[in-house]
């Protein structure tokens, strides 16, 4: 645990790549998890472990094992600063980045902000934080079960209304909203029936974790992830002008972050390599994703 104005949970592994003659001096990989509100998991670091590469990562604020701060002090810059502070504390001046979903958005923001510290970037299913795309996500959730969605968020509710529900909800209502969002999102992720995803008993710990996660997501989405349309356009332009290597791996069956976002990024950042996977969804453990990401990080590492 690192005290960065509140404890942040950090992990790091040296790696054992046989092609690295000086593993202690090789550039490690910073792993950025999704959400916001997720946590660093085995599936996120699996490509690096399979490749035997050194990596480090952390649970973002108000996520996983990291300490919660008031939402009023949580924003994109806080997460960027945390990533750089973690690297500084581990004495890592330069690094590659592997980020998935929201972690891919954060990866681009970090690489744009401090390009001199970034060797290369690999993105999995990048989340594009434009309001129209987030509205389309909630439209997809409503389509799964219109009555269930309407009962909790209102008919036709999109980003603004969903986030407003979280702003004004009582603690009991926050739990109901979080469970509803999670059940619909799980159905979208897995392709299961929304009725199947609604089954199951939640412990007090699980209930707390859901409220914590979706309050944080609503906070970020309410503020367009602190990247308005013009800010996002400038960020992509800055990334296009940078020199670090970029690869994007995208599942064509991804319903959460559809392929259009990855394609738009690849068209805007011409040096980017885009790999599209048939029959693959959003999750890091989706079919073919682990193999494609392992190949990508290995290529980046050996070409650094």
Split at pLDDT 50, 70, 90, the class of 197 is low
The CATH H-level superfamily of 2-129+227-303 is Alpha/Beta hydrolase fold, catalytic domain (3.40.50.1820)
252-289 tens-digit pLDDT = 999 999 999 999 999 999 999 999 999 999 999 987 99
Residue 134 sits at the vertex; the CA angle it makes with 47 and 258, to the nearest 5 degrees, is: 45
CB 159 within 8 A of CB 151: no
The neighbour count for residue 208, using CB atoms within 10 Å, is 13
Say whether pLDDT at 47 is over 80. Answer: yes
> Phi and psi of 259, rounded to 5°?
-60, -20
User: What pLDDT digit, counting tens, does each position of 87-132 carry?
Assistant: 999 999 999 999 999 999 999 999 999 999 999 999 999 999 999 9
Least Cα distance to 226 among 8, 73, 33, 9 occurs for 73
- The tens digit of pLDDT for each residue in 136-156 reads 999 999 999 999 999 999 999
Which uninterrupted H or E stretch holds 277?
Answer: strand 273-277
Residue 24, pLDDT > 70, answer no
**Ranges in the chain annotated CATH 3.40.50.1820:** 2-129+227-303
109 by Cβ neighbours in 10 Å (0-12 / 13-18 / 19+) ranks as buried
Mean pLDDT across the chain: 94
Neighbours of 157 (CB within 10 A): 20
**How does residue 133 score in pLDDT terms, banded at 50, 70 and 90?**
very high
Rounded to two decimals, what is the model's pTM? 0.95
pLDDT of 240 above 70: yes
What is the reported pLDDT for 22?
47
- The pLDDT > 70 percentage for the chain reads 94
For residue 17, what pLDDT band results from cuts at 50, 70 and 90?
low
Distance CA 99, CA 109 (A): 11
């Amino acid at each position: 645990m690192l005290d960065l104005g509140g404890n942040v949970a950090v992990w790091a592994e040296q790696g054992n790549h046989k092609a690295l003659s000086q593993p202690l001096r090789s550039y490690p990989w910073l792993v950025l998890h999704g959400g916001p509100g997720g946590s660093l998991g085995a599936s996120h670091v699996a490509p690096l472990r399979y490749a035997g590469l050194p990596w480090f990562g952390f649970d973002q604020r108000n996520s996983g094992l990291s300490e919660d701060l008031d939402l009023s002090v949580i924003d994109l810059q806080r997460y960027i600063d945390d990533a750089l502070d973690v690297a500084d504390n581990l004495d890592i001046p330069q690094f590659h980045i592997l980020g998935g979903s929201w972690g891919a958005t954060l990866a681009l923001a970090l690489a744009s902000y401090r390009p001199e510290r970034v060797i290369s970037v690999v993105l999995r299913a990048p989340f594009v934080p434009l309001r129209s795309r987030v509205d389309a996500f909630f439209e997809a959730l409503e389509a799964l079960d219109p009555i269930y969605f309407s009962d909790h968020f209102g008919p036709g509710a999109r980003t603004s209304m969903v986030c407003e529900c979280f702003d004004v909800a009582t603690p009991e209502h926050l739990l109901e909203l979080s469970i509803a969002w999670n059940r619909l999102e799980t159905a979208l992720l897995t392709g299961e029936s929304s009725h199947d995803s609604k089954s199951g008993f939640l412990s007090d710990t699980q209930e707390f974790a859901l409220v914590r996660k979706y309050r944080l997501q609503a906070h970020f989405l309410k503020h367009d992830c602190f990247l308005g349309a013009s800010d996002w356009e400038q960020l992509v332009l800055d990334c296009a002008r940078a020199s670090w290597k970029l690869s994007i791996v995208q599942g064509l069956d991804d319903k959460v972050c559809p392929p259009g976002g990855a394609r738009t990024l690849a068209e805007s950042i011409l040096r980017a390599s885009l790999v599209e996977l048939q029959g693959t969804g959003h999750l890091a453990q989706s079919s073919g994703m682990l193999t494609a990401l392992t190949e990508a990080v290995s290529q980046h590492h050996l070409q650094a």
